[in-house]
């Protein structure tokens, strides 16, 4: 029998393994592992047990794999702000933050990508972290969420495997911040529970236009507990004031080249301009009766509760109005933990949440080097606090007085703090049931129905983008069997989607993957799941790229700048030279960007205003031609002022102009042009300019 080099033996020697033999998976102590898929729980839907030494070792090692950057969510950006309560929830929760309408609570928010390193680019196709630290009067509360309401896996046992598969492949250390490679899709295609999340990450949700235009979700089901001990289930939603907005994939690729810090810069500039990012906090509240009657398990992190079934109740707003003073001291050292909750908020037995609660504290110790990371100003509570924790590396505060233990009999002056049965945190009382088991409950077994619902909730252009994304990602996978296996799952979601992807890859359509539970086709579409249906209604908060050249109509340029400002938006001037351009009235208009440093991908809409003398020069410039052709290809609204004809002729677009290309003949056209920019994209253009669409 042929032999090959296997894993290292105990002395570091290479062991010989017979071909066809598979090593038994063990712990680091050499204990054979019977189940590497599920953590140990009390009953099928009960809490995860601390005695699960295999899970503890696995997550412990994973948490310590990187120093000093985060293992996941390494590339992040944060800002300070406040949460303001707009509706009291006193009857539902005793949480102090939800008691008094109009009260503001200090907040810090960190946005991030998941897969890339600190040096990766902002516009990777990826999940975005949306972590909110609320400095309440009864302690710090961290809502550590994402911009997508579901996750790839149902049990935290699989988290190290998921991230290992998504990260650069270990033998070659690439690709960076991308999932378009064999390891990721091999894992995904062997993990049917991830199919709902796949629809989200292949949608435009994974390439948001900015932090300001993406939703945030708490992902898990939590509990709110009132003063009488009554529990209400809750899911958390952050809904952006400026509406949802994403970019096109080709646009994302070019933005990463032009400005890899695009999201960071957008947040920084918006706060500096006083155009403060804002989200509404919405809650989906439901009781045990609803949970029992719902078609899916509310403890399953791969599922949502459609807003049509449980409407989102808006109770407050989150505003970011202050940038950090030092990126490292605040954004890099901030420590979020899902376990950080306050009286009136509690956990459920979601096995992914239970694992996160266990993991995060360990992670902070490794990253920040000390159990005293709460002494850092960004992590310290804003309310009074007192405890007997002492010493340790970099302790900046130690208890005073004689006693450093409890109970003690030293009295108020030297005895230190005391527990408070009335104000203190109390866990919701829930009796665990069942045997100790490593299983997935049957209620978690439907992996395709909500994926199908998500896909059917998208507009046709969004469905096209999902198909395009799948074709692109899987085209980077070298092994045909992995591609085919993934398409077999897509057949359980939507047959036309599967055929589109198979055709794009040149694959024979395989048989559908075997489904543990037959996918349902009766789940109604949900408008809340579509970006296009929840986009902005105006150009407010957006940016117009205004390309000007010498001799441009001064009255028109100034009218356009004024109209954009009145709409609550921004203008950035692009010119052939960074010094600017001399307008027809003799005004010297300074530029923000030189044309080859300000491509149209950086803007939500563009306008081009030249003159008879400068237009031929613009038409000869490659960067200027790209400015126009990219804007057209990305379905942006384009304002065409005097002097645009030579450029249109040179780019071949003169015969292709559509209703998204608007004439700017004179200053009187400025207001109408800006008013037309609200939809942000003229999507009817894309099917006429895309090879895959034309081939179909």
> Is pLDDT at 10 greater than 60 in this prediction?
no
Task: Provide mean pLDDT across the span 544-560.
Answer: 97
Distance (Å, rounded) from C-alpha 443 to C-alpha 688? 44
Contact 647, 620 (CB under 8 A): no
Task: Provide mean pLDDT across the span 366-372.
Answer: 89
- The reply to whether 424 falls in a domain is no
* Edge-first strand listing for the sheet containing 543-548: 593-594, 570-575, 543-548, 605-609, 638-640, 661-663
> Is pLDDT at 189 greater than 50 in this prediction?
yes
Closest by Cα among 308, 282, 294, 292 to 218: 282
- The reply to whether 369 falls in a domain is yes
- The reply to whether 412 falls in a domain is no
Task: Provide mean pLDDT across the span 560-567.
Answer: 97
Q: What is the DSSP string of 43-95?
A: STTSPBPTT-HHHHHHHHHHHTSSSSS-SSS-SEEEEEEEEEE-S--TTT---
pLDDT at 313: 98
Distance (Å, rounded) from C-alpha 106 to C-alpha 683? 40
Q: Write the secondary structure of 628-650 as one string of H (helix), E (strand) and C (coil).
A: HHHHHHCCECEEECCCCHHHHHH
> Is pLDDT at 21 greater than 70 in this prediction?
no
Structure tokens at 234: 């809750």
Give, for 356, the enclosing helix (H) or strand (E): helix 351-368
pLDDT at 67: 57
- The band of 691, judged by pLDDT with boundaries at 50, 70 and 90, is low
Q: Which domain CATH number covers 186? A: 2.40.180.10
pLDDT at 441: 94
Residue-averaged pLDDT of the chain:
93
> Is pLDDT at 518 greater than 80 in this prediction?
yes
Among 323, 354, 375, which residue terminates a domain? Answer: 375
> Is pLDDT at 18 greater than 60 in this prediction?
no
Closest by Cα among 444, 388, 369 to 155: 444
Task: Provide mean pLDDT across the span 581-594.
Answer: 96
Q: What is the DSSP string of 280-304?
A: EEEEEEE-HHHHHHSSS-TT-TT--
Task: Provide mean pLDDT across the span 519-534.
Answer: 97
Helix axes 480-490, 460-475, angle to 10 degrees: 160
Q: Which domain CATH number covers 632? A: 3.40.50.880
Domain count for the chain:
2
pLDDT at 534: 96
Question: In which domain, by residue range, is 349 found?
Answer: 41-375
- The reply to whether 558 falls in a domain is yes
Question: pLDDT tens digits for 593-634?
Answer: 999 999 999 999 999 999 999 999 999 999 999 999 999 999
- The band of 13, judged by pLDDT with boundaries at 50, 70 and 90, is very low
- The reply to whether 133 falls in a domain is yes
Backbone angles phi, psi at 373, to 5 degrees: -65, -20
- The reply to whether 417 falls in a domain is no
Query: Of 23-32, 141-150, 393-402, 527-536, which range is least confident?
Result: 23-32
Backbone angles phi, psi at 158, to 5 degrees: -95, 0
Other beta carbons within 10 angstroms of residue 58's beta carbon come to 23
Task: Provide mean pLDDT across the span 212-235.
Answer: 97
pLDDT at 44: 92
pLDDT at 396: 86
- The band of 19, judged by pLDDT with boundaries at 50, 70 and 90, is low
The strand pair at 41-42 and 278-286 is best described as unpaired
pLDDT at 12: 44
pLDDT at 17: 44
What is the percent of the chain with per-residue pLDDT over 70, rounded to a whole number? 96
Query: Of 27-31, 336-340, 395-399, 657-661, which range is least confident?
Result: 27-31
- The band of 696, judged by pLDDT with boundaries at 50, 70 and 90, is low
Task: Provide mean pLDDT across the span 25-53.
Answer: 88
Predicted model pTM: 0.92
Task: Provide mean pLDDT across the span 176-188.
Answer: 97
Among 375, 399, 434, which residue terminates a domain? Answer: 375
pLDDT at 397: 84
- The reply to whether 45 falls in a domain is yes
- The reply to whether 385 falls in a domain is no
> Is pLDDT at 417 greater than 60 in this prediction?
yes
Extended beta strands in 304-376, E state: 313-323, 345-346
Closest by Cα among 80, 107, 77, 102 to 382: 107
- Contacts of residue 545, Cβ cutoff 8 Å, sequence gap at least 6: 572, 574, 598, 600, 602, 603, 605, 606, 607, 627
Distance (Å, rounded) from C-alpha 60 to C-alpha 163? 14
Residues with catalytic roles = 73, 146
Question: pLDDT tens digits for 251-265?
Answer: 999 999 999 999 999
pLDDT at 523: 98
């Amino acid at each position: 029998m042929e032999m090959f080099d296997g894993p290292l033996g105990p002395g570091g020697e290479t062991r010989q393994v017979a071909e066809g033999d598979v090593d038994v998976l063990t712990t680091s102590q050499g204990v054979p592992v019977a189940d590497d898929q599920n953590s140990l729980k009390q009953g099928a839907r009960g809490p995860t047990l601390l005695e699960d030494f295999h899970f503890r070792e696995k997550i412990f090692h994973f948490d310590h794999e990187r120093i000093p950057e985060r293992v996941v969510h390494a590339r992040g950006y944060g800002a300070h702000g406040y949460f303001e309560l707009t509706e009291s929830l006193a009857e539902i929760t005793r949480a102090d933050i939800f008691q008094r309408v109009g009260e503001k609570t200090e907040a810090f928010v960190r946005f991030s990508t998941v897969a890339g390193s600190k040096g990766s680019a902002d516009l990777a196709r990826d999940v975005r972290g949306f972590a909110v630290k609320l400095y309440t009067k009864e302690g710090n509360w961290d809502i550590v969420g994402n911009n997508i309401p579901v996750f790839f896996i149902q049990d935290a046992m699989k988290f190290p495997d998921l991230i290992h598969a998504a990260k650069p492949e270990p033998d070659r250390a690439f690709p960076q911040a991308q999932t378009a490679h064999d390891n990721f899709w091999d894992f995904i295609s062997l993990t049917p529970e991830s199919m709902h999340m796949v629809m989200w990450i292949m949608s435009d949700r994974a390439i948001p236009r900015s932090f300001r235009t993406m939703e945030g979700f708490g992902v898990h089901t939590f509990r709110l507990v009132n003063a009488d001990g009554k529990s209400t289930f809750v899911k958390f939603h952050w809904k952006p004031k400026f509406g949802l907005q994403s970019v096109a994939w080709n646009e994302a690729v070019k933005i990463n080249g032009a400005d890899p810090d695009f999201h960071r810069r957008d947040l920084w500039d918006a706060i500096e301009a006083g155009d403060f990012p804002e989200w509404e906090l919405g809650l989906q509240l439901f009781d045990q009766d609803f949970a029992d009657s719902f078609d899916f398990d509310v403890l399953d992190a791969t599922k949502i509760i459609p807003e049509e079934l449980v409407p989102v109740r808006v109770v407050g707003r989150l505003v970011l109005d202050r940038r950090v003073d030092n990126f490292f001291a605040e954004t890099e050292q901030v420590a979020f933990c899902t376990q950080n909750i306050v009286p009136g908020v509690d956990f459920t037995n979601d096995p992914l949440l239970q694992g996160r609660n266990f993991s995060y504290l360990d992670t902070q110790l490794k990253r920040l080097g000390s159990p005293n990371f709460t002494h850092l100003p960004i992590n310290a509570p804003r309310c009074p606090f007192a405890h007997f924790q002492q010493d340790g590396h970099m302790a900046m505060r130690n208890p005073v007085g004689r006693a450093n233990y409890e109970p003690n009999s030293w009295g108020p002056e030297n005895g230190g703090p005391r527990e408070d049965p009335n104000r203190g945190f109390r866990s919701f009382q829930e009796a665990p049931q069942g045997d100790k088991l490593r299983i997935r409950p049957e209620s978690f077994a439907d992996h395709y129905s909500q994926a199908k619902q998500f896909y059917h909730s998208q507009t046709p252009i969004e469905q096209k983008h999902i198909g395009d994304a799948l074709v692109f990602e899987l085209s980077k996978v070298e092994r045909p069997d992995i591609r085919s296996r993934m398409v077999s799952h897509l057949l359980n979601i939507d047959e036309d989607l599967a055929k589109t992807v198979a055709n794009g890859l040149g694959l024979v359509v395989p048989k559908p993957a075997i489904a543990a539970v037959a996918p349902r086709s009766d789940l109604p579409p949900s408008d809340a799941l579509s970006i296009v249906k929840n986009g902005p209604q105006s150009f407010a908060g957006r940016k117009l790229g205004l390309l000007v050249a010498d001799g441009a109509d001064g009255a028109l340029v100034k009218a356009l700048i004024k109209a954009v400002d009145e709409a609550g938006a921004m203008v950035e001037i692009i010119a052939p030279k960074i010094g600017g351009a001399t307008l027809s009235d003799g005004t010297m208009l300074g530029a923000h960007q030189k044309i080859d440093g300000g491509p149209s991908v950086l803007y939500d809409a563009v306008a081009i205003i030249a003159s008879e003398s400068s237009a031929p020069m613009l038409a000869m410039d490659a960067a200027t031609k790209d400015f126009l052709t990219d804007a057209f290809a990305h379905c942006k609204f384009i304002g065409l002022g005097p002097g645009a004809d030579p450029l249109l002729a040179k780019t071949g677009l003169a015969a292709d102009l559509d209703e998204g290309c608007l004439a700017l003949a004179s200053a009187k056209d400025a207001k109408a042009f800006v008013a037309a920019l609200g939809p942000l994209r003229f999507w009817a253009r894309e099917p006429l300019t895309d090879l895959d669409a034309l081939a179909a």
